[in-house]
Structure 1
């Protein structure tokens, strides 16, 4: 099967200029918050409740904050047995956003988070990709899934579910039906992960040429993204690089929870307390 081509001119990045008073920003992604994993939720809530002197001037969430999001009505529907969990997530974010702006970029698990959900969480939606103008440079932000070109099955699925007509038809279904569909898709995804777990060569990763083309089109030198759950720094040549965010899993062995901070000192990975 051939690898899809990539045309950066068809996916121009949005632009976001940081206010002059910003001194530091933070990036996280792939927390996959869900009712069945309370440890990660508690670490995340403690992160949001840090004292003022520890916080950055803005928080950027680059996708997959939630393990699944089947519609904004999960926050207010009595038909949802997990409503209390989703409401707790929204309330924690809303409280945090009162003193720190939160920019949210959809991932492959929570792309159905809509205007009402963003409002309930106190978040501002962010296009994928977005070029952030901060500290005199452009930093290209993305979830990263659109650049995993070798994952052809997923790329076809992504193209389908990002269509407005597909989303309207899906969201018109009863909540219980949407939840069941999402559960089935998650099970398929987990089965696929297990089947490739022992062979890293089969893991989907960002296409180097696509990453380089995206950076050049945006006038940026550093791409910051999540999705792959493989935190690292990759040199792309000609002064370009991509930096991969860590996923979060407080119940794993060893546990994982990390924030990427950008300030005058550069990019730094800051592990969070896990107990």
Structure 2
């Protein structure tokens, strides 16, 4: 389990026997996109020789999570999308530890769902100590400071009062609210694709401050859907994870693997 060794950053110390760990984010799993679910299932069920020693999910595993009670909403003998996802994670966690960090889409995933999926929750940010080096892990949305509208929204929905009120609503009402929020988000994405002034990236100064406070040289994050590596100066860098969309042209889906022998490697899955 992560332990808090400073006022700001949680730290997870990797066991000495770990020789490789995988990072993924922004799969945005949803029942309406079976190709992504199938690819994710293929990754989770790959041969033991191809597996890492741990899996870190850095947010937005799901397109939306409206409460852990979706796992109790089974209405037929056929497993629901949510139950299928939980079962796949639980089976994977039996041989490979799975760590989960909230994203901006699945921040309501709680203790009940973590237990059902066999996952261990991570604070955002968390420092991973792995073979003598510190790696700073985050979803990344908290660092997109220029998007002031989103930051206000983020602060509101992360509050205990907002979450208590939302989760008290009927499941159907929560689904409708989430659908409306997704539609607004997709509209902003379409607008920003044509006008990059509407799109906010991670703030470089804020990323440097986090890295310096964490005693780390590398920030690994998702959220922006723009896989790349950015030199922040002073020996610091941020590495952006890929989102997953196997139906795109070209398709996008990769795992970022860290090992002491090879450092960081991007492993395409399609």
Structure 2 length as normaliser, TM-score?
0.95
Structure 1 residue 78, shift from structure 2 partner = 4.1
What's the secondary structure of 2:219's corresponding residue? strand
Out of 168, 178, 201, the residue aligned to residue 205 of structure 1 is 201
Say if 2:166 is the partner of 1:165. Answer: no
| 1:75–1:83 Cα contact (<8 Å) kept | no
Query: Hey, what does 2:28 align to over in structure 1?
Result: 32
Say if 2:268 is the partner of 1:271. Answer: yes
**Which has the bigger relative contact order, CA under 8 A and spacing at least 6?**
1
| 1:23–1:56 Cα contact (<8 Å) kept | yes
Say if 2:15 is the partner of 1:19. Answer: yes
Query: Hey, what does 1:117 align to over in structure 2?
Result: 113
Q: Distance in 2 between matches of 1:139 and 1:88?
A: 32
Deviations 1:104-154 (A, max 9, x none): 000000000000000111100000000000021100000000000000000
What's the secondary structure of 2:89's corresponding residue? helix
What's the secondary structure of 1:169's corresponding residue? helix
Q: Distance in 2 between matches of 1:59 and 1:148?
A: 25
Structure 1 residue 201, shift from structure 2 partner = 3.7
Query: Hey, what does 1:188 align to over in structure 2?
Result: 184
User: How many pairs does the alignment contain?
Assistant: 263
Structure 1 residue 200, shift from structure 2 partner = 2.8
Structure 1 residue 192, shift from structure 2 partner = 1.0
| 2:23–2:58 Cα contact (<8 Å) kept | yes
Structure 1 length as normaliser, TM-score?
0.93
| 1:79–1:176 Cα contact (<8 Å) kept | no
Q: Distance in 2 between matches of 1:83 and 1:138?
A: 40
Query: Hey, what does 2:3 align to over in structure 1?
Result: none
Query: Hey, what does 1:91 align to over in structure 2?
Result: 87
Structure 1 residue 254, shift from structure 2 partner = 1.4
Q: Distance in 2 between matches of 1:180 and 1:223?
A: 35
